[in-house]
Every structure is written in C-alpha cells, then in structure tokens.
Amino acid sequence: MEQQNFEAQFQPQSEIITALMLGDCGAARTSLEKLWTAHCTVLAYIDEQSQRFVEGEFDLRWLTEDSREDWFAAGKIYRLKVRHHQNDKVLMLEEIIESNVLNADLEAYWQQYQMPVYFHSKTLGQFEWDKHYKGASGEVDWLGNEICLYIDEVDDTMSEAEIFSFAEEVVANAAEWDEKARTYLAEKLLESANDWAEEGAPELTAEQLSKRVSLSELSIGGTEMTFFYDDDDIFYGHSILVEVDENGTLYDAYIAG
C-alpha cells in the first residue's frame, strides 16, 4: 500500500535521463511507515529521448528499506529510469541503470556550478552566494567584533540593492538591535541560566547574562532575523537564539545546538 500510494503521485510513463547529482541525500519515515522515503538532489539532466538539457534542481525520491545516505555522489553522473511528479519538480527513481557515466555537457555544467559567485555591498563588503541553499554569507563588523551575516532567499536575478538594503539598515543600527536582543534574551532566559548553574555558584543577574553572551552570527530572511549568541558556557556551550519577526518584534529566545 505504501508503494502504491507513493507511486500514485507520479505520472505513469517512465523516462530515461542522464543526471548530474548534487548529492544532499537523506531518508525519512514516520512511525506509521515501514519504508523509508529516500531523496537526493538532481542538479541537471539530459532527457535521453529528446536530448533536451534541463537545468534546475529536482528532488529525486524513492521508497527503500535502507536508510543509508550514500546512494549518489555529488558531481557524479548517472543514467536513471524515472517518473515525473504530477505537479512539482520531483522525480521518482525506478532504476539506476548506469553509474559513473561520462557526459561532456554535464561535466562542464558541474565545473561552472562550482565556480564561486559573489555579491558586493558598499558598506558590508563581499558576500558569497550559496547556490543550493539560496543564501549569501559574509563577515561584517558588529560593534567592533566580526560576525557572520547570512542573508536568506537570494537568487542571481536580484540586484545587489535588493539583497543588501535591509541588512545594511540593520548593521547601521547595530547598537540599537544589540541592546534589544541582549535585554530580551536576558529577560527570557535568566531563570534557565540560574537553573543550569553549578551548585553553589553565585546567582546571575539579567545584566550579567546580557553582557556575558557574544553575538557570533546574524541570519536575515526578508525582514525576519535570528541572532545567534555564544553562551560563555552558561548553558555548557549551547547557542542562544533570539528570533525577530517581519515587523521587528522580538518574540522568542531559546538555547539550541
């Protein structure tokens, strides 16, 4: 039944493709399922019948009893029998016909894909684009300390003004945002911080907590933000995250990692 339900999502006709794999493989299942849904990313492929070259990432999926993640290697080319999803950019794997295929067009595409792409902000500096996760990252000065700034939801059709305008505004107002985030996390996590303290240790105040943490990373997606703080071993090496919604309201602070 699992197999039938899975296959019903895909078109009935099969195709043979020569596929360049990006990797990023994994597998998941719920407690009610016996089979794993494995997945891996196809970066580009050539349709064998039409010889059409198709760019853009496709999610290759199949059901398996095996949860291993080394089915496909990044940058390698495979000949596959697949079926297309009814709507999405998803392919169902029916058969791995051949591994370690040689194809000049796909090999050239892989070489081009690996070339770094950079965006530049006049005030923030150079950022490298992550093509797979569609984000750009760079090191910026934050009140005299260097932090990693990650900007999500970036593609190569966007202007640099579109990419950086909000981030530039945030960094320009670093002192204000830093005070807000530190004050908020101290209010939210002070009780937990003292619960984590060793027996007999002096009780932390909110001011002490806010001063001991240090910002290591800022992630921006649209106008939403996540501040990542190193905890100075208050929570035994866990990160502290502070979340800000699209309206600039701080709404959560928690430990992670």
pLDDT of the residue at 257: 76
Domain boundaries, the chain: 2-108, 118-256
- CATH-assigned architecture of domain 2-108: Beta Barrel (2.40)
Phi/psi of residue 91, nearest 5 degrees:
-120, 140
Report the share of the chain in percent with pLDDT over 70: 100
Cα 86 to Cα 37: distance, rounded to the nearest angstrom: 17
Q: Tens of pLDDT along 114-129?
A: 999 999 999 999 999 9
Q: Tens of pLDDT along 149-208?
A: 999 988 778 888 889 999 999 999 999 999 999 999 999 999 999 988 877 778 889 999
For the entire predicted model, the pTM comes to 0.81
Q: Tens of pLDDT along 80-106?
A: 999 999 888 999 999 999 999 999 999
Average pLDDT over residues 247-254: 97
Q: Single out the residue of 242, 237, 253, 245 nearest to residue 189, CA to CA.
A: 253
